[in-house]
């Protein structure tokens, strides 16, 4: 049996009269990549930020790695990694200096070059964050989640706006992070990303979880109902053509 590392029970969030999250419950298992998949406005970020202790909830129970969110928020903060918006980074500091600053805030001794190497940015050590490409910014932002050696990292739409090469590169990085023992919870509105990356996904729509399972099981279940795609799908798509022509190497350097 897998160990539950995050448990969410009957979570509700209202903004004034508006119910953004309508009593959702789910568990995340230790060591998995768990996806919250849904269109804009579904309530993904709200849910994530409540678990991260960054937003208050209206009602419900949340437990993270044995800590109750209401009574032990600061214990939870210590063991999670939250992605920071690169736009908020001090513009005058280079990547090494930024990592040093954050590790100071977390009171952690981190080797900046080692961390930058992990996210394939060692050659950008002396660059400022505004000099990075979209994919590099996202990799750096993921690096900042790892500074406090967290048990769980939270990634909110990490690949939105990236080109196909940078997205694949980021998927590889997320898989590596998971392989090193970190649980990953990620939001996305890309179906292919959820299918390829996530062990299990919760499909959210209008504040509710309408389905929760592995992508494989969901697809099998739909096929079993007799569902067929309207026309025979070719064994490749335009993205395959694009990747085949342009290669998997990232272009941004």
Residues near ligand ADP, by CB under 6 A: 15, 18, 20, 38, 40-46
Q: Does 188 bind Mg ion (CB under 5 A)?
A: no
* In the complex, least distance from residue 160 CB atom to ligand ADP, rounded to whole angstroms: 10
Q: Does 46 bind Mg ion (CB under 5 A)?
A: no
* In the complex, least distance from residue 146 CB atom to ligand ADP, rounded to whole angstroms: 23
If the CB atoms of residues 46 and 169 are measured against ligand ADP, the closer one turns out to be 46
* In the complex, least distance from residue 35 CB atom to ligand ADP, rounded to whole angstroms: 12
If the CB atoms of residues 20 and 184 are measured against ligand ADP, the closer one turns out to be 20
If the CB atoms of residues 42 and 250 are measured against ligand ADP, the closer one turns out to be 42
Which element (helix H / strand E) includes 144? helix 134-145
If the CB atoms of residues 99 and 154 are measured against Mg ion, the closer one turns out to be 154
Q: What is the distance between the alpha carbons of residues 112 and 67, in angstroms, rounded to a whole number?
A: 30
The answer to whether the beta carbons of residues 242 and 164 sit under 8 Å apart is: yes
Q: What is the distance between the alpha carbons of residues 241 and 230, in angstroms, rounded to a whole number?
A: 22
Backbone phi, psi, residue 86, to 5°: -60, -25
**Which of ligand ADP, Mg ion, none does 215 bind, CB closer than 5 to 8 A by kind?**
none
Q: Does 47 bind Mg ion (CB under 5 A)?
A: no
Which has the closest alpha carbon to 69: 8, 151, 147, 150? 8
**Which of ligand ADP, Mg ion, none does 42 bind, CB closer than 5 to 8 A by kind?**
ligand ADP
Q: Does residue 56 come out as left (phi exceeding 0), alpha (psi in the -120 to 50 range) or beta?
A: beta
* In the complex, least distance from residue 36 CB atom to ligand ADP, rounded to whole angstroms: 8
Residue nearest to Mg ion (CB): 45
**Which of ligand ADP, Mg ion, none does 53 bind, CB closer than 5 to 8 A by kind?**
none
Which has the closest alpha carbon to 103: 116, 92, 91? 116
Provide the H-helix boundaries in 52-133: 73-79, 95-106, 112-118
Q: What is the distance between the alpha carbons of residues 202 and 217, in angstroms, rounded to a whole number?
A: 12
**Which of Mg ion, ligand ADP, none does 167 bind, CB closer than 5 to 8 A by kind?**
none
Residues 45, 159, 165, 183: which binds Mg ion (CB under 5 A)? 45
In terms of DSSP bridges, do strands 208-213 and 200-205 run parallel, antiparallel, or are they unpaired?
A: antiparallel
* In the complex, least distance from residue 78 CB atom to ligand ADP, rounded to whole angstroms: 25
Distance of CA 144 to the CA centre of its chain: 13
Residues that bind Mg ion (CB under 5 A): 44-45
């Amino acid at each position: 049996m897998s160990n539950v590392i995050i448990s969410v029970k009957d979570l509700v969030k209202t903004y004034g009269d508006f119910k953004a999250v309508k009593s959702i419950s789910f568990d995340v298992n230790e060591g998995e990549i768990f996806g919250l998949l849904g269109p804009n406005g579904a309530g993904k970020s709200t849910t994530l930020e409540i678990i991260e202790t960054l937003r208050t909830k209206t009602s419900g129970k949340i437990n993270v790695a044995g800590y109750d969110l209401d009574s032990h928020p600061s214990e939870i903060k210590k063991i999670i990694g939250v992605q920071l918006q690169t736009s908020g980074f001090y513009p005058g500091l280079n990547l090494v200096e930024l990592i040093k600053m954050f590790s100071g805030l977390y009171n952690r001794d981190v080797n900046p070059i080692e961390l930058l190497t992990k996210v394939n940015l060692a050659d950008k050590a002396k660059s400022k964050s505004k000099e990075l490409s979209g994919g590099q910014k996202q990799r750096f932002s993921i690096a900042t989640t790892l500074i406090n050696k967290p048990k769980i990292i939270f990634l909110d739409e990490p690949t939105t706006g990236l080109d196909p090469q940078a997205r694949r590169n980021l998927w590889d990085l997320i898989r590596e992070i998971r392989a090193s023992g970190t649980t990953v919870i990620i939001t996305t509105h890309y179906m292919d990303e959820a299918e390829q990356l996530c062990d299990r996904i919760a499909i959210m729509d209008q504040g509710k979880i309408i389905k929760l399972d592995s992508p494989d099981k969901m697809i099998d279940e739909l096929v079993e109902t007799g569902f067929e795609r309207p026309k025979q799908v070719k064994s490749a798509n335009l993205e395959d053509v694009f990747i085949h022509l342009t290669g998997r190497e990232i272009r941004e350097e």
